[in-house]
Structure 1
Amino acid sequence: MATETSLGMDLDDPVTQHMRTECARLPVHLTAAEALAAIRENPPAGRVVYFYVVDEEDRLLGVVPTRRLLMSALDRKVGEMMIHPATCIPSTATVFDACEFFILYRLLAFPVVDAENRLLGVVDVELYTDELADLDRREASDDLFQLIGVKLQASQQESSFAGFQNRFPWLIANIAGGIMAAVLSGFFQAELEKVVALALFIPVVLALAESVSIQSVSLSLQRLHGRQPTLEAIFRKLQVEGGTGLFLGIASAACIAATAMVWLGQWKVALCLFGGISGGVTFAAVIGALIPNVLRYLQREPQVASGPIALAATDMMTLTMYFLLARWLFA
């Protein structure tokens, strides 16, 4: 998805389109005195935060902060005072990648280098502050709507029928999920009639799983902005999210099962709740992370489709595990 800011910057833009090509270079062989003299003779354009140390072929070797250069002994070599290796942004990076560098490393500027480590330019934080604030507002609103199957632009339609056309198709996933949930309940009607308490806890079992599923979808969408996932990255993410879901499921299930035990005094109901919630929440975390990543990997838009599909799949699997465990326990 290409996200554009109010100033026309696209998160998928190559960072090279927004860098400054004029940056403060210092040859590695200079002393501090020679470097200061060269700077006075040819003042660098714009605000200078860091000086970039390069070799004869303009390959980046390190970075010298302005304060360090000014405070160093005049006979000290630039190569001795530089910070090495320098944190660089590759020329293949996008604007989104550059924003992540500012957030992660909290520096005021980053050099941009090519595949051979030649210095191409500098990305300055001032170029991004206004855009980041605007993106934060836009994306937070857009993702909130898209998780429930609505695009923010579509939600602002003045025509009632146009709004219906844009919003109804993705509700079909929820309708299908609800119908299948009713069918599932019919298959396990004997268990529900035998132990009415099982039906009492269905809302909380589904609510916990759905909440975790939407959390996983939301986190995955945030990480996918401007990125194309690999199969290895997807598998690794599913492992982490599955572990997180398991911990969340056990903690939530323990609370609900303890409540059921104190309230009803039926250990089989408590065990059924513990197993159903633990399994349902674990599956919800995995499916919530899987669907956005798979859709993006297949070159499809994950923002609108992920939420409804994840919720429907979560409801189906959670109820199936809950009812199967009940059938086994109360056989």
Structure 2
Amino acid sequence: MMEYSESMWPAASPRLSKDSPLGESVLMGIRAAQTAVNLNQTIHEALEDLRMRTIDGPLVSVYALDDDDRLVGQVSARELLFSPPKTLIREVMTSDFTVVTINTSMAEALEVFHQKRLVALPVIDDEGRLVGSIELEQYARESLARAEREHVRQVFQTLGLAVGASEHMTAMESFRMRMPWLCCNLGGGILCALIGWMFEDLLQQVVLLAFFLPLVLTLGESIAMQSVSLAVGSDSSSRSLAHAMRGIRVEAAAALMMGVLCGVLVAVTSLLWGGGASAAMTMFAAVSVSMFFAAVCGGAVPMILQWLRLNPSVAAGPIALVIADTGSLAIYFTLGLLILMP
């Protein structure tokens, strides 16, 4: 048998979105009730019966059934081991226990686990017959696997995609779902091209800027998407404006530290490339400022979309990428013009 401590349960009940896979039926996660005995058996008979079975995992609870297999009681492992052998199961069982029905969702069952601090949860059908049970360790593994799938779904949704949706879509439905976000990226690309055209003379005179341009854009895009993912995954709908602003400040401070470090590395690379001190200063300033800007945008866009009553999980990613690209490009060229051009 296994002992369970308070630390095995989460400190707070997990928040579940309405689209979470945990909305599935609890039947998806139950196992056969391997520790069910008849309430008219003695302790000795019940133990002998259990010894003849192959029981997976620790013995945490025994379920007492009537002659029609209806669940009528529950016996703790302690009572089973320390009660006199001739004691009837009905004499040591308790009728005060928690059950869920086959109509319960997995999210609701998880909430019951958290609130009641259970180690096992029996599942009954509409007539009260025992169908199976969910145990804490087994359910924790199931929840973790589903949480990982939910995380993957959120990441793809942030990029404007729906995992698995294409299996049931027509070509036109797929076009309507994806084209708006492609248009958003297309518009951002055109804006970047216009910004590049405005600084054409600078690029012709300082060719080194063109070499590091993809790096600056990549760093800005990466940190913007990280900020979007953190903001969307933090359940911003339940947070106040003060909490949201604090999150943006924390993200901005972290981005500034990462930007300074990346800026130093890029500046050193520029020096080794033979670009000179002015070029290195430009790279350092451009990388630091653009990463800071992209992180603030990535944290602010979901909050603004939430305020506009739009779904940040879908729209925040493409919009933040466009702002990060155009902003980083403008910062890069402007600093290059101020520092490198006489």
Q: Is TM more than 0.5 here? A: yes
Please say if 1:310 is aligned against 2:326: no
**1:290, 1:126 → 2: CA distance?**
39
2-structure distance, mates of 1:108, 1:296: 34
> Does the CA-based 8 Å contact 1:229-1:296 persist in structure 2?
no
Compute the displacement of 1:275 (Å).
0.8
Residues 209, 314 of structure 1: 8 Å contact kept: yes
1:293 corresponds to: 303
- Structure 1 pair 127–297 and aligned structure 2 pair: CA distance change class (3 A): farther
Deviation for aligned residue 1:153: 4.3
Partner of 1:180: 191
- 1-side partners of 2:166 and 2:180: how far apart? 14
Q: TM-score, normalising length from structure 2? A: 0.61
In structure 1, what is the Cα distance between the partners aligned to 2:328 and 2:299? 16
Residue of structure 2 in register with 1:205 after alignment: 216
Q: Which amino acid letter does the alignment assign opposite residue 178 of structure 1?
A: G
Give distance in 1, aligned partners of 2:274 and 2:218: 21
Indicate whether 1:231 and 2:241 are aligned: yes
In the alignment, structure 1 segments of 5+ residues that lack a partner are 11-39, 48-94, 110-123
Who is 1:5 aligned against? 21
For this pair of structures, how many residues does the alignment match? 235
Distance 1:163 1:193, change over 3 A: same
CA offset digits 1:292-324 (Å, max 9, x no partner):
122224332111111100000001111111111
Tell me the SS of whatever aligns to 1:201: helix
- What is the percentage of aligned positions where both structures have the same residue? 31
Secondary structure at the aligned position of 1:200 is classed as helix
- Match in the other structure for 1:193: 204
The aligned amino acid for 1:2 is K
User: Is residue 320 of structure 1 aligned with residue 336 of structure 2?
Assistant: no
Q: Which runs of structure 2 are paired with 1:89-238 in the superposition (5 Å)?
A: 108=117, 129=140, 132-133=143-144, 135-224=146-235, 227-238=237-248
**Distance between the aligned counterparts of 2:162 and 2:306, measured in 1?**
17
Of the three residues 65, 89, 96, the one matched with 1:45 is 96
Give, in whole Å, the separation in 1 of the partners of 2:20 and 2:138: 15
Tell me how far 1:125 sits from its aligned partner. 5.9
- Which amino acid in structure 1 is aligned with residue 165 of structure 2? A
C-alpha displacement of 1:137 = 3.6
2:248/2:300 contact within 8 Å kept: yes
For the 8 Å contact 1:230–1:297, the answer to whether it is kept is no
| Structure 1 counterpart of 2:259, one-letter code | G
Give distance in 2, aligned partners of 1:130 and 1:293.
33
* Distance of 1:190 and 1:158 partners within structure 2: 48
Distance 1:326 1:279 in 2: 13
The structure that has the greater radius of gyration is 2
RMSD over equivalenced CA pairs, Å: 3.1
Pair 1:268-2:284 in alignment: no
Distance 1:268 1:9, change over 3 A: farther
Give the conservation status (yes or no) of the 8 Å contact 2:21–2:150: no
Could you report, residue by residue, the CA deviation over 1:161-202 in whole angstroms, capped at 9, with x for unpaired residues?
A: 321221111111111111000000111111111100001100
Q: Given that residues 238 and 289 in structure 1 are in contact (C-alpha distance below 8 angstroms), is that contact kept between their aligned partners in structure 2? A: yes
Residues 41/299 of structure 1: CA separation in 2 closer, same or farther (3 Å cut): farther
Tell me by how many angstroms 1:138 deviates: 3.2
The answer (yes or no) to whether the contact 2:157–2:313 under 8 Å persists in 1 is: yes
Listed one character per residue, the Cα deviations across residues 277-304 of structure 1 (whole Å, up to 9, x for unaligned) are 1011111111111111222243321111
Change (3 A) 1:46 1:249: same
Q: Which residue number corresponds to residue 258 of structure 1?
A: 268
Q: In the aligned structure 2, how far is the partner of 1:155 from the partner of 1:208?
A: 31
Give distance in 2, aligned partners of 1:174 and 1:326: 25
- Aligned partner of 2:256 among 246, 255, 259: 246
What is the CA–CA distance in structure 2 between the aligned matches of 1:249 and 1:283, rounded to whole Å? 10
Shift of 1:230: 1.5
For 1:231 and 1:327, how far apart are their aligned partners in 2?
A: 38
Whether the aligned pair in 2 keeps the contact of 1:6 and 1:131 (CA below 8 Å) is no
Equivalent-residue separation in structure 2 for 1:246 and 1:290 (angstroms): 16
Q: Which moved more, 1:153-162 or 1:305-314?
A: 153-162
Tell me by how many angstroms 1:2 deviates.
2.1
Secondary structure of the residue that 2:273 maps to in structure 1?
Answer: helix
1:120-159 residue CA offsets vs partner (Å, 9 max, x unmatched): xxxx968963662354143122112112211224333453
CA positional deviation for 1:6:
5.1
Structure 1 length-normalised TM: 0.63
Letter of the 1:172 counterpart: C
CA contact (8 A) 2:252 2:292 kept: yes
